[in-house]
Amino acid sequence: MTRLIFKLTLALLIALASGMLALTAPALAQTEGGEASGEIHLQTDAPTDAAIAQRIATIFGEIDTLSGVEISVEAGVVTLSGQTLTAEAANRAEALASRVEGVVTVENRIDRDVSVATRVAPAVGELETTVQDLVRVLPLLALAAAVFVALSVLGWLLSRWDALWRVLTPNRFVAELVGSTVFGLFLVFGLISALTLLDATAFLGALLGAAGVIGLAVGFAVKDTIENYIASIMLSIRQPFRPNDHVVIDGQEGRVIRLTSRATVLMTLEGNHLRLPNALVFKAVILNYTRNPERRFDFVLGVDPDDDPLSAVETGLAALKSLGFVMTDPDPAAGIREVGDSTINLFFSGWVDQNQADFLKSRSVAIATVKAALDAAGFTLPDPTYRLRIDSGVLPTDAAQPAQSRSTKSARSAPAKTPTGEATDVAPDHSLADRVEEERREDGAGDLLSEDAPSE
């Protein structure tokens, strides 16, 4: 928020500078290049030397910077002498004289006046005029400044009224945003009011135009930042997840620590911090494992193709139903998934309440229990089988020991003791959730998530 206010302030200062340049440029152009062009006609019919000199003297007499120039004309040739303060004034005198009707050429013999008194006096006079103008406009400047300050203070007080904005807005983040927006609007309104009192409407138009152009340029430059900021506002309003929810966002899995104005902070299952930009989170597919505590697990076990697969399904399903942590509503399910190259793959699934049983522990116990039940019932869970073709007619050395292979298969397919699964600990593991809560307590500032706000 501080960075955003800084950027807005910088843009406003640039707009002010641009507006001042826009106002001063026409004035400079009028001073430097506003003189008309073309021939200057005499006031008499015949272009005599006296008429030419009189016409030039009349023109120079109306220009303060050329009042000290002396003029003489002989056969249409004008000679300029005397002194001027600057070389530009001497060149201007030559240009004006050359435009007068009947002038053949101009001899410029004007010197620069470098005396201290001549140069200091005009500056002092201009300074006195400026001070007098400032004194006359001081009351109006004071009134404009007072209006601007009053409106700014009023906007600041309204922006700090947290109780009002939290009543009108859904969460704290939006309340702060609305308060800052109100303060900015009062600043702009105060500036417009002050400029209106000073009759600086032209400057106000230039200021608004420059601010529009600068705002457009800044918008393109910080497009990603603005997109991320807007996504933060939308996430804080929608609340797609709660603190400590177990989620998967754009393939990244972890528990939610907090939602800031820039990123969503997760703690991965390995205990590491993961920051995801809110623009990515807002557009990503979010999988929430915590929102519904009932979760289904599934696994696949393969049996020998010579075994009865339907009998194996019934045996495994009975073992699955015997587990106390497996829910009866919905019921566990089992079936034949596919016939593989060397096995018939059986599919088993069951539901657990994550508030009562840990998902990973429950799935592990279920797999071990069903496997043990199938072993105890005499079903074989074989290893992958490969067929070898031997063109030479000579068997490998290992093939000459069938007795050892049969004994190994017999030992592998001996019935195992069926575990009940009741003595195995499947209680939920709260270690990661406790670490998340501890971090939230240590640094709770800046969190946009709220347990009281509505959630999708």
The answer on pLDDT for 323 being more than 90 is: yes
pLDDT of residue 41: 66
pLDDT of residue 361: 93
pLDDT of residue 213: 74
For the sheet with 263-267, list strands across it.
273-277, 263-267, 252-259, 246-249, 286-288
The answer on pLDDT for 77 being more than 60 is: yes
The answer on pLDDT for 410 being more than 50 is: no
Task: Name which of 147-151, 166-170, 352-356, 423-427 the model is least confident about.
Answer: 166-170
The domain made up of 294-385 is a member of CATH 3.40.50.360? no
More confident position, 135 or 332: 332
**Average pLDDT rounded to a whole number, residues 242-263:** 91
* Domain regions of the chain by residue span: 2-26+138-221, 49-114, 242-290+437-442, 294-385
**Average pLDDT rounded to a whole number, residues 58-70:** 86
The answer on pLDDT for 234 being more than 50 is: yes
Model confidence over 343-389: pLDDT tens digits?
Answer: 899 999 999 999 999 999 999 999 999 999 999 999 988 776 666 77
**Average pLDDT rounded to a whole number, residues 217-228:** 73
Task: Please check whether the two domains, 49-114 and 242-290+437-442, share a CATH topology.
Answer: no
CATH number at 242-290+437-442: 2.30.30.60
The answer on pLDDT for 434 being more than 80 is: yes
pLDDT of residue 67: 82
Task: Name which of 11-15, 66-70, 265-269, 275-279 the model is least confident about.
Answer: 11-15
Residue 444 pLDDT class (50, 70, 90 cuts) = low
The answer on pLDDT for 86 being more than 70 is: yes
**Average pLDDT rounded to a whole number, residues 103-120:** 78
Residue 253 pLDDT class (50, 70, 90 cuts) = very high
Q: What is the pTM of this model?
A: 0.54
Averaged confidence pLDDT in the chain = 78
Rounded CA separation 276/289 (Å): 18
Residue 28 pLDDT class (50, 70, 90 cuts) = very low
Task: Name which of 17-31, 235-249, 278-292, 374-388 the model is least confident about.
Answer: 17-31
Please give the CATH topology (third level) of the domain spanning 49-114.
Histidine-containing Protein; Chain: A; (3.30.1340)
The answer on pLDDT for 11 being more than 80 is: no
Residue 453 pLDDT class (50, 70, 90 cuts) = low
3-state secondary structure 207-255: HHHHHHHHHHHHHHHCHHHHHHHHHHHHHHHHCCCCCCCEEEECCEEEE
Task: Name which of 174-183, 311-320, 322-331, 365-374 the model is least confident about.
Answer: 174-183
Q: Which residue has the tokens 């000679």?
A: 79
pLDDT of residue 266: 94
Task: Name which of 69-73, 227-231, 325-329, 409-413 the model is least confident about.
Answer: 409-413
